[in-house]
């Protein structure tokens, strides 16, 4: 809605002659960038830009596994088969710390 009001205000300034051709070009570029940021950016694109393709793929896989709770359940199942697995215990401890930090 803000974009609509801004566009109406801009058209009024153009019609009144307050904005010249150079200023109009700059304003159109700014409107294009604002429109892109408002309508086009999605969550996936934000992840992609923030951490790259590998980070995005890792987050997708993490969510497919059920997030922290799903991964904790999987590690617990593996530890039930081999309770002396030190690496599994360390991973489980880190997952619990990570989960506690999210709450």
Same domain, 70 and 93: yes
User: Are the C-beta atoms of residues 3 and 35 closer than 8 Å to each other?
Assistant: yes
Could you tell me the residue range of the domain that residue 17 belongs to? 2-40
In a domain, 72, yes or no: yes
Same domain, 61 and 94: yes
DSSP 20-86: -HHHHHHHHHHHHHHHIIIII--HHHHHHHHHHHHHHHHHHHHHHTTHHHHHHHHHHHHHHH-TT-H
Same domain, 56 and 20: no
What confidence score (pLDDT) does residue 73 get?
92
What confidence score (pLDDT) does residue 99 get?
85
What confidence score (pLDDT) does residue 58 get?
84
pLDDT, tens digit, for every residue of 15-57?
667 666 667 777 777 777 776 766 665 666 666 666 677 777 8
Average pLDDT over residues 7-17: 69
DSSP 11: H
Same domain, 6 and 28: yes
pLDDT, tens digit, for every residue of 86-99?
999 999 999 999 88
User: Are the C-beta atoms of residues 65 and 74 closer than 8 Å to each other?
Assistant: yes
Same domain, 66 and 35: no
What confidence score (pLDDT) does residue 39 get?
67
């Amino acid at each position: 809605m803000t974009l609509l009001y801004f566009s109406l205000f801009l058209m009024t300034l153009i019609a009144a002659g307050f904005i010249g051709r150079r200023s109009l070009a700059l304003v159109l570029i700014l409107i294009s960038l604002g429109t892109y940021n408002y309508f086009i950016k999605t969550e996936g694109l934000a992840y992609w830009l923030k951490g790259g393709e590998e980070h995005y793929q890792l987050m997708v896989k993490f969510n497919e596994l059920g997030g922290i709770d799903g991964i904790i359940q999987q590690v617990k199942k593996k530890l039930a088969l081999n309770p002396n697995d030190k690496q599994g215990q360390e991973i489980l401890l880190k997952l619990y710390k990570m989960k506690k930090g999210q709450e």
